[in-house]
Structure 1
Amino acid sequence: MFPAPRLFVIEVTGNRPDRPEYHAKVQVLNGRVVQDGISGGWQVTRIAAADTTPADLLRATRDADAIVIVGGEDITPSFYGALAGYEGETAHYAAADEGQIALVQRALADNTPLLGICRGLQIINVALGGSLVQHIEDGIHKNANAPIDEILSTHGVTLTAESGLARGLGNTEILVQSAHHQSVGVLGVGLVPAAVAPDGLVEALEHRAAPITGVQWHPEAPDAPADQLPRLLAALRSNIVAALPVRELVAA
């Protein structure tokens, strides 16, 4: 009997005493990823990247079979060659940014399956040399000025028919829940769009050769279609099998 695969869920921080309502919302979302992972047969470890060092984060996750980088605050602009002081700017956690970026880069090198959710998609793009649009406000991607429990917006996205994401979700037209004010600018090296919103913004991306996927929406949201997150986690598990020969060769 084989042991359950090891899934690491990497969040930004485990402590936001200055923003208790936001923190409570994030905990609900991140907790759903953990619970669906356990239900899907994973050994799940949850780590807050800001509460450790980048080096320790890499050490703690070195035996990961798969990784999920979840949502949270904006990425520090210096990591993608931009300046602070933009509209809608949130708190920044540079240590978390650095650690999560390093995780993506190692996942690419080791062929480790990785899923990025919301901020996690943006981390993937920045880690591979891409940029971000620092502020969008079009009424589609976030319920602006709404209470935190009403911040998620429901809208459709169109998935690229040949994408792994479309295969995993079983459709090319889906409804999603999102709450973001930033978006993909220039795509990182090796990344391709996997879904677009009605306004043309990139809502998901994939790596051309590695099992790395990012979705800008929140499949773990309470009102998201119930099968979205389990399907994405199942795709991660399928990619472990596909990646094994390459990873064993690298280890040898």
Structure 2
Amino acid sequence: MTERAGDRRLLMVEVTAQREHSPAYDAYVRTMIDRAAAEARVSGWDVSQVSAADIGVDGLLQAAENADAVVIMGGEDIDPQFYDGERGYEGEGHHFEVADAAQIQLVRRAASRHLPVLGICRGHQVINVALGGTLLQHVDDAGHRNIDLPVEYALVEHPVRLEPGSILGERFGRDHIVVQSAHHQVVDRLGNGLRAVGWAHDGHIEAIEHDSLPITGVQWHPEALLAPVGQLRVLLDGLAAQAGAVLESA
């Protein structure tokens, strides 16, 4: 059984409203974020979209004050300073330190208030870093993204194995799913309270859940145009169920 959000308030957080350094990438990211927001509205959420780089830590925490749940979307690599990493790694691109700091503080605030959070791709990594985890700064591209092609062809299809009995496994109703991914970093050491519940073909972590809080992260893009039909709705309905449970227990 799925649960609709009703009129619950969803805060959807992106990195930045404009990428002057990479307009093609910006347009592609915007397409996926807008698709996620549209799907959330169809499923009953009252959606607010904000850009972390533009409003900073205080602005983002204020925006989340009245939210019933949060989705942190994809984007650029997190600056290594936030997980004791080093710059100069293979594949390093543009960083948005203000967005990093704001999203990390948002996850920590959400954890302290039992506010449901779903992290997608970068958002999944933000969750891990916010709770004290680290990232593997570069993985082989094979099976995780396409390279040397226009950005709209970066996504690659691959299977993910889900842990039987995990929340995600129960939501999808199976132990293996097919996803669309485009990333070169993955969760390494898990943050406090987190456990891995999904893995790629090469053993890299593709999904995480918190042991006691309504916090979930997926490394893939359920909002991608070619993602399996219904995959994003499964995650949004799961978020609605978590938000409902939190409201009922308040």
- TM-score normalized by the length of structure 1: 0.95
Secondary structure of the residue that 1:73 maps to in structure 2? coil
Partner of 1:200: 203
2:210 matches 1:219: no
2:24 matches 1:32: no
CA displacement 1:161-206 (0-9 Å, x = unmatched) = 1111111122211100000000011000000001000100000000
Amino acid at match of 1:131: T
2:209 matches 1:210: no
Amino acid at match of 1:231: V
1:141 and 1:48 mapped to 2: Cα distance? Answer: 26
2:88 matches 1:82: no
Q: Using the TM superposition, give the Cα deviation of residue 18 of structure 1 relative to its aligned residue in structure 2, in angstroms.
A: 1.9
1:212 and 1:50 mapped to 2: Cα distance? Answer: 22
1:3 and 1:86 mapped to 2: Cα distance? Answer: 44
Secondary structure of the residue that 1:130 maps to in structure 2? coil
Q: Using the TM superposition, give the Cα deviation of residue 244 of structure 1 relative to its aligned residue in structure 2, in angstroms.
A: 2.1
Residue in structure 2 matching 1:65, options 63, 68, 71: 68
Amino acid at match of 2:25: Y
1:160-171 maps to which residues of 2 (within 5 A)?
A: 160-171=163-174
Unaligned runs of 5+ in 2: none
Partner of 2:247: 244
1:103-252 maps to which residues of 2 (within 5 A)?
A: 103-246=106-249, 248=250
Amino acid at match of 1:55: D
Runs of 4+ that moved beyond 3 A: none
Secondary structure of the residue that 2:133 maps to in structure 1? coil
CA displacement 1:116-138 (0-9 Å, x = unmatched) = 00000000000000000001114
Unaligned runs of 5+ in 1: none
1:27 and 1:226 mapped to 2: Cα distance? Answer: 20
Amino acid at match of 2:98: A
Distance 1:196 1:3, change over 3 A: closer
1:142 and 1:105 mapped to 2: Cα distance? Answer: 30
Secondary structure of the residue that 1:67 maps to in structure 2? strand
2:31 and 2:229 mapped to 1: Cα distance? Answer: 15
2:229 and 2:50 mapped to 1: Cα distance? Answer: 25
The two structures, once aligned, show a CA RMSD in angstroms of 1.1
2:2 matches 1:16: no
